[in-house]
Amino acid sequence: MNDSAVGASPKEASKQALPRLADVAAHAGVSAKTVSRVVNNEANVRPQVRAQVLRSVAALGYRPNAAARALVTQRTHQIGLIATASSLYGPTAGLFSLEQAAWKAGYGLTLTTVREASEAQLEEAIHYLMVRGVEGVIVSGVAGALHLEASALTDMPLVTTSPITTESAKYVLVDSDQMAGTRTAVRHLYNSGHRRIAHLAGPLSWDSAAQRRDGWLQEVEDLGLDPGPLLEGDWSPKSGYEAALTLDRAAATAIVVANDHMAMGAIRAFTEQGMRIPNDISVIGFDDVPEAAYQMVPLTTVRQNFSSVAERSVRELIHLIEGREAENTSIHLPTELIVRASTAPYFGSLA
């Protein structure tokens, strides 16, 4: 028996049992510096060496001490995320994509949610994250016009998916090109013979809804058309259904809807009124939710690439954290029109 262990307290015995980074290095037959690179998810390690170190980490039950590492390096590798508490597809998909992007970049993610985009709630959320040692903040999927005093950030690197009023120099906007997405949808309908194109907007307090509405209006006007009816919902299928019931059948041969779930509700309302999709009215949604392709009439929609937006957001934030200046402070990534069976060419007038 090892005499040094005799009489040791449970706490001391536990400490003795904890594997150290040096133990992992000895077990794997590599240097401690190589083990450090692997556990910090640095890129300059050969795949076979990385796998060998990870096997040793698993075999020994080694757990890196993040707090101790932060004291030495003055880095926490933590990103703060502020989001609206929402079960909507877009914000939820965005959160999942950001978590994956942060993880792949070697950063942890600390999340806090706000009920509204008030300056007080945003400042409170930022303070919450700063206390937890985040190195930068992403504001994603928050409804409303954002405003922050520079004092609230204390020069904290910031990336948002919505325009924000702030004097902070370390600020970059990264989002899908919402306006271009709806413009493409309108142009597709126009090229298919439609001249009366309505729009069912999301709640216009959301920047994304306002941009999609503006894209519809600008494209209609650029094509020399009179704007069709403008309706508004709250992103839900129910609101799309109720809004569609109010649409004058003779007022539009097509409608661009600000998200897929409202589009599904609208299709239900049109069908109940005896209208055929797309023979009597063509419908385009936005987002390309997973169920869009599996409706009774598969939905034509504008697809956002949430993974690309998340990866670019994390990349831009890391650049700011590392002290690099942003080459572009307003980045809009392309969307893609996915054409399915809910749109068709229009040849004559509605009955």
Give 168-203 pLDDT, tens digit per residue.
557 899 999 999 999 999 999 999 999 999 999 999
> Hey, how many other C-beta atoms are within 10 angstroms of the C-beta on 71?
9
pLDDT at residue 16 is higher than 60: no
Supply the pLDDT for residue 205.
Answer: 87
Of the two residues 252 and 153, the one the predictor is more confident about is 252
Supply the pLDDT for residue 349.
Answer: 57
Residue 323 DSSP one-character state: T
Q: Give the side-chain half-sphere CA count within 13 A for 345.
A: 3
How many angstroms from the chain centroid is the CA of residue 209? 15
Q: How does 228-255 read in b/e, with b if 16+ C-beta sit within 10 Å?
A: bbebbbebebebbbbbbeebeeeebbbb
Residue 79 CB burial class (10 angstroms; 0-12, 13-18, ≥19): buried
Q: Give the C-alpha separation, 306 to 301, whole Å.
A: 15
CB 78 within 8 A of CB 314: no
Among 26-40, 91-105, 302-316, 323-337, the minimum mean pLDDT is found in 26-40
Supply the pLDDT for residue 19.
Answer: 83
At 102-160, the pLDDT tens digits run 999 989 999 998 877 677 788 788 888 887 889 999 998 776 656 665 445 657 889 99
Residue holding tokens 């942060």? Answer: 102
For the entire predicted model, the pTM comes to: 0.78
**Best CA proximity match to 255, nearest among 206, 300, 205:** 300
